[in-house]
Structure 1
């Protein structure tokens, strides 16, 4: 599936120009409070208080989708989030052979309760509501949401949000994508809510829904490789503060500050930007839906 990255290489560069990146202040806000306590014991490389001594355990959902991962193998280091996870691990003093992956369903990772990972990476948007249940690192990716629709549907010709209100829309449960459907589009037809993006994509392909809301890179991957009878209709304006993906940790985790420091260091030295260019440069500029 990695061969699909190149045909879109010039495309996300333009999309990124349209994407309003959150200011650096907001990137660190998410983990600021936790940083104060999370670094109390220090961030000695390779010697953090992890679930298993000497090992860093990272969670993500299954299947692990392109372009965030490749071949459904988080452990191979390919795909943006796999690469980011290993870069963070390296900053924390854990080389690849000291990293273990576990399956962490999206919904379970963001709800209260003890986790079986040290941190989770799974396109989880930082929000005040979620911060009541879990900790977040600072943001590692600035993101916009987008809508894709079957080419033969009325929704495919949408020029603005108003044109989508009468469409049968879908999104994955518990996601920012679903928030956009319910709070931004506010459709007159009850939207379909799916337990996974796999189910949502199948519904789109089968014509059970006309359009699907996902993040922008995923939108271009789906239409370019999985549901080729669909097209990217457009992207939504960024929120005032900017939407960001963050690493998820247990509420009150002693690792939150150290993980945030690692993410901030990767942003400061340009590593995050380089990984984004390498793995997420597949998409084209999409019109902004207003």
Structure 2
């Protein structure tokens, strides 16, 4: 689903962590990145499956906001998704100067057609509909939806999804939050759709909507940095309680999909992905779960 947009300062510790993750890692598995993989995939840095041989081209939207990126500069290695992207690149054998960032609007990324990148990292939820037009990696982050309102709102102390039934909910265009609201909250009022997170915040402060629903890390940022009186009501899983999963998006039938999956598997196994998640998204932990 989701797309956050906004930026915070990053710590030097994460820069070091992201940088160290970029270094090529030795692989013991014969099918690991950097070797000839199973199913005929070439996972070398000169693979013909790459958009440009010898270079890893990574896409995201602009502006690119916190906590996913820092200062709208994906190439600085700061922010969760920037750090993950460089960690994946490192497992694939790419040095930092062999990574090229390009801009791809969120709603265009999963449209059918040729792509000018090797993978896109942009809080893109893995859905069956999108997977008809593009490839997805395995998940690199699992995110619940969350509800944000203002202190003093009659919905501020809601402890269940049913208590939000009559709320006027705002969501961002081209995210899965819209369907999540319909399926889980079953609201009386049709959700209002906004082009940007900023538009959602403006509508909330102006009283046009009662609450915003988006992914939990975005809600944390908005409550802490964009609103003086923001109140996080709680979080909920989408699709019958199953959390939403973000995946790296690749061109349909990309020969590099299995390579990226192997890199992510290695990052999970050696603890790098967990460390990056804790470093950048640790604020998401202690939010009450909203049930029916």
TM score, norm. by length of structure 1: 0.83
Cα distance in 2 for partners of 1:54, 1:144 equals 37
C-alpha deviation, 1:62, in angstroms: 1.3
Q: Is it true that 1:181 corresponds to 2:181 in the alignment?
A: yes
Cα distance in 1 for partners of 2:59, 2:287 equals 31
Question: What does residue 217 of structure 1 align with?
Answer: 217
Question: What does residue 108 of structure 1 align with?
Answer: 108
C-alpha deviation, 1:241, in angstroms: 4.9
Q: Relative contact order (C-alpha < 8 Å, sep 6+): which is higher? A: 1
Question: What does residue 119 of structure 2 align with?
Answer: 119
Question: What does residue 47 of structure 1 align with?
Answer: 46
What are the ranges of 5 or more consecutive residues in structure 1 without an aligned counterpart? 6-36
Question: What does residue 269 of structure 1 align with?
Answer: 270
Q: How does 1:126-137 map to 2 (within 5 A)?
A: 126-137=126-137
Cα distance in 1 for partners of 2:284, 2:41 equals 42
Question: What does residue 156 of structure 1 align with?
Answer: 156
SS in 1 for 2:71: coil
Q: How does 1:6-155 map to 2 (within 5 A)?
A: 39-44=39-44, 46-49=45-48, 50-155=50-155
C-alpha deviation, 1:39, in angstroms: 4.9
C-alpha deviation, 1:151, in angstroms: 1.5
C-alpha deviation, 1:189, in angstroms: 1.0
Is the Cα contact below 8 Å between 1:149 and 1:232 reproduced in 2?
yes
Is the Cα contact below 8 Å between 1:75 and 1:101 reproduced in 2?
yes
What are the ranges of 5 or more consecutive residues in structure 2 without an aligned counterpart? 1-6, 12-36
TM score, norm. by length of structure 2: 0.83
Cα distance in 2 for partners of 1:244, 1:57 equals 22
Cα distance in 2 for partners of 1:95, 1:201 equals 39
Is the Cα contact below 8 Å between 2:10 and 2:78 reproduced in 1?
no
Counting matched residue pairs gives: 258
SS in 2 for 1:282: helix
- Please state which structure has a larger fraction of its residues in helix: 1
SS in 1 for 2:267: helix
C-alpha deviation, 1:226, in angstroms: 1.1
Question: What does residue 203 of structure 1 align with?
Answer: 203
C-alpha deviation, 1:147, in angstroms: 0.6
Is the Cα contact below 8 Å between 1:58 and 1:119 reproduced in 2?
yes
C-alpha deviation, 1:71, in angstroms: 1.0
Question: What does residue 283 of structure 2 align with?
Answer: 282
C-alpha deviation, 1:69, in angstroms: 0.6
SS in 1 for 2:94: coil
Question: What does residue 255 of structure 1 align with?
Answer: 256
Alpha carbons of structure 1 residues 268 and 190: separation in structure 2 relative to 1, 3 Å: same
Cα distance in 1 for partners of 2:175, 2:42 equals 34
